[in-house]
Amino acid sequence: MLALPLHDLPTRSASGFLIRYVVPRTGPPQLVGPLDRKALFSTLAVGDAIIGVGHGDPARFSGYRDQVLLDVSSIPDVRGKVVVLISCQTARQLGPALINAGAASYIGFLEDLVWVMDADSAATPWSDKFAAPAMMPIVNCVNTILDGKVTADAFVVMTTELMGNAAVEEDDLIASCLRFNAKNASLLGNPMARVKARPKVAFPLPPPPLFPFMP
């Protein structure tokens, strides 16, 4: 399952990269924009992975317009699933709670996930050159999982690419954000967990239409 809200600049930036580079490899359910709601998220247990973008804190992960989708006190059936939460701080409590509830593996962040984006790219977030050094390592992590490789490999892809991008980044603020994210990335559960491999997609596909951005 993919949960990809688009209601503000950070969700639009992160979801935009996944919509461009991950969604074409996956099947439904894909909860994009206004579809990323608690009522749908909680009732859909199909699939072997949950990949979500959303605002978060130690105990909660949210969807469209910050509806809480996952909470340590009410975890849906995640048994055997690989969970990737592109969010803030969920590795502190929610990640461990997901593993305790039977998730095979979890990747997320202990602190805020921070990056610099170009607000003028909100209509085509995947073309944002400021955000790419932070978002492409996350995209490549998710795609490594969808290649059928173990989550430990995917985690290494993400952290190595974040640090590599920081090393060559000329903007100090962007570089600090990249190192901060790499330092706070977290892998919990079984590092040998994997999902069924999805077919690779030859890029570039035509970019998808997005819900208009209405700040």
- Which residues bind to another protein, rule: CB under 8 A? 8-11, 13-14, 53-57, 60, 62, 66, 86-89, 111-121, 130, 169-173, 175-177, 179-180
Instruction: For residue 50, list its beta bridge partners.
Output: 83
Q: Give 172 or 199: the residue with its C-beta nearer to another protein.
A: 172
> Least distance (Å) from another protein to the CB of residue 9?
4
Q: Give 15 or 143: the residue with its C-beta nearer to another protein.
A: 15
Question: How far apart, in Å, do the first and last CA atoms of the chain sit?
Answer: 26
> Least distance (Å) from another protein to the CB of residue 98?
16
> Least distance (Å) from another protein to the CB of residue 44?
22
> Least distance (Å) from another protein to the CB of residue 56?
5
User: Do 186 and 58 touch, CB atoms closer than 8 A?
Assistant: no
Place of tokens 């461009």: 20
For residue 75, which of 95, 51, 92, 105 has the smallest C-alpha distance? 95
Q: Can you tell me the distance from the alpha carbon of 137 to that of 162, in angstroms, rounded to the nearest whole number?
A: 6
Sign of CA dihedral 7, 181, 70, 142: positive
Q: Give 177 or 188: the residue with its C-beta nearer to another protein.
A: 177
